[in-house]
Chains A and B, each alone.
Chain A
């Protein structure tokens, strides 16, 4: 743990509110994530955790409150917003690899078109990233030719290729067959060990225990509890969290 003097807040949500019609999906959310920290957001379906994750790079707009990335308020739209998004890596539940481009092109598109990196250099970096996530041999295939686990690892490489300040994971293993979950989690654990700042929405409690610095428990649009994984899983404070965890254990 870094001392307060050294803490560098990368993601800062202040009194964030969002409504879907009458549904108040994010209720006065305050959350700070410091550099190098791995925050796992868990909670029942419909608790607002995915919305929270997507709000951080403005794939969801918010009604009020402020979100700061590395001290800068998220721009509303246009080039400024695009520039901010380039610094925030996003991994989706449904992978969302560009279906008409091969694996290598998926990873190089952002660096070439957004960062202005020369093609040979972008390809070299992309190949290194693809090797790192274990799909180097698939570089010339199309996304549909890969398994779900492989696609999700490519999606992680695509986000990393932008050299993001923070990575957002929106239920990255929820669409995977059980035997493919671990290969994706292993890549994520490796990233966490390398010091990447990560916000991970997941149902994988094993990952939360192994890799998280902090667990944020959400229910009904509110952050109900924040604790270290150890504290949260062994001694949850709120009845809502106790209820949630007891259901997980019985399942």
Chain B
């Protein structure tokens, strides 16, 4: 037992998880913003916007996250000198947030589109009939209802995002949980299984409330028809 507990003095495990939570927070905001814009494009009456949105989703959704994050570090930063901060660590952190945002935006877009499908056609017609333009109809009538209908699928994207922040390890974010776990596994061969379980349980503890919260919210905010 003392053997196991020494893991926590040797490695700052809560701090490692805190990095994943921060990655999740910023990437969730980024993905929500990009995903909403993409969803707007995909439901817009302008064919070129529609095509761009569809192209983005189909390319990004079908590309492994590992490749996107490695591209950020090895191609954008190493090759092209693209940087988001002068601080080494901060730069990698922000590149990871950018990659995670771009990747999950594709899924957010599709989740919102599934929400748009819960909004009856008549709502859009009524909005247009009183003289609202496309952006007004979308922002005042369709998206507010679509988000409420998309809470569970959006929650699923968030859960995937939380766990996918571990892929930031390949993006040189060395302080996040899975990187710390890898280091711990290398140096503490005596407690390999407890280390795995510790990190697995850590993620479960973070993710379970998200699932509960989205289920509760989707019931509470459901649009009565």
User: Does A90 interact with chain B (Cβ within 8 Å)?
Assistant: yes
User: Does A134 interact with chain B (Cβ within 8 Å)?
Assistant: no
Using A77-B45, A94-B122 as known contacts, say yes or no to A85 and B148 having CB atoms under 8 A apart: no
Asked if B127 contacts A98 (CB within 8 A), the reply is: yes
User: Does A117 interact with chain B (Cβ within 8 Å)?
Assistant: no
Residues of B within 8 A of A166 (CB): none
User: Does B117 interact with chain A (Cβ within 8 Å)?
Assistant: no
Q: Which residue of chain B lies nearest to A90 when distances are taken between CB atoms in the complex?
A: B129
Interchain Cβ contacts within 8 Å, total number? 76
User: Does B144 interact with chain A (Cβ within 8 Å)?
Assistant: yes
Asked if B126 contacts A97 (CB within 8 A), the reply is: yes
Binding-face segment, B82-90, B132-140, B180-188: B132-140
User: Does A51 interact with chain B (Cβ within 8 Å)?
Assistant: no
Contact of B132 among A57, A59, A96, A110 (CB under 8 A): A110
Asked if A92 contacts B140 (CB within 8 A), the reply is: no
Contact of B122 among A79, A86, A92, A100 (CB under 8 A): A92
Asked if B132 contacts A92 (CB within 8 A), the reply is: no
User: Does A109 interact with chain B (Cβ within 8 Å)?
Assistant: yes
Total interface residues on A, using CB and 8 Å?
33
Asked if B133 contacts A57 (CB within 8 A), the reply is: no
A155 to B130, CA, bound (A): 11
Asked if A162 contacts B144 (CB within 8 A), the reply is: no
Instruction: Using C-beta atoms within 8 Å of the partner chain, give the interface range for chain B.
Output: 20 to 34
Residues of A within 8 A of B132 (CB): 82, 109-110, 113-114
Asked if B123 contacts A82 (CB within 8 A), the reply is: no
A98 to B136, CA, bound (A): 13
User: Does B220 interact with chain A (Cβ within 8 Å)?
Assistant: no
Using A82-B128, A85-B130, A110-B132 as known contacts, say yes or no to A96 and B144 having CB atoms under 8 A apart: no
Contact of A96 among B126, B140, B223 (CB under 8 A): B126
A99 to B148, CA, bound (A): 12
Asked if B131 contacts A114 (CB within 8 A), the reply is: yes
Using A98-B141, A113-B140 as known contacts, say yes or no to A86 and B130 having CB atoms under 8 A apart: yes
Asked if B130 contacts A162 (CB within 8 A), the reply is: yes
| 3 nearest A-B pairs in the assembled complex, by CB-CB distance | A86-B131, A144-B224, A110-B130
6 new A-B pairs (CB below 8 Å) besides A82-B133, A114-B130, A142-B224? A90-B125, A109-B132, A109-B140, A144-B224, A144-B225, A155-B126
Q: List 17 A-B contacts (CB under 8 A).
A: A77-B45, A82-B131, A83-B131, A85-B129, A85-B130, A90-B125, A90-B129, A90-B130, A96-B122, A96-B126, A100-B144, A109-B140, A113-B140, A114-B132, A143-B224, A145-B224, A162-B130
- Measured CB to CB, the residues of B under 8 A from A are 45, 120, 122-123, 125-133, 136, 140-141, 144-145, 148, 223-225
- Measured CB to CB, the residues of A under 8 A from B are 57, 59, 77-79, 82-83, 85-90, 92, 94-100, 109-110, 113-114, 142-145, 155, 158-159, 162
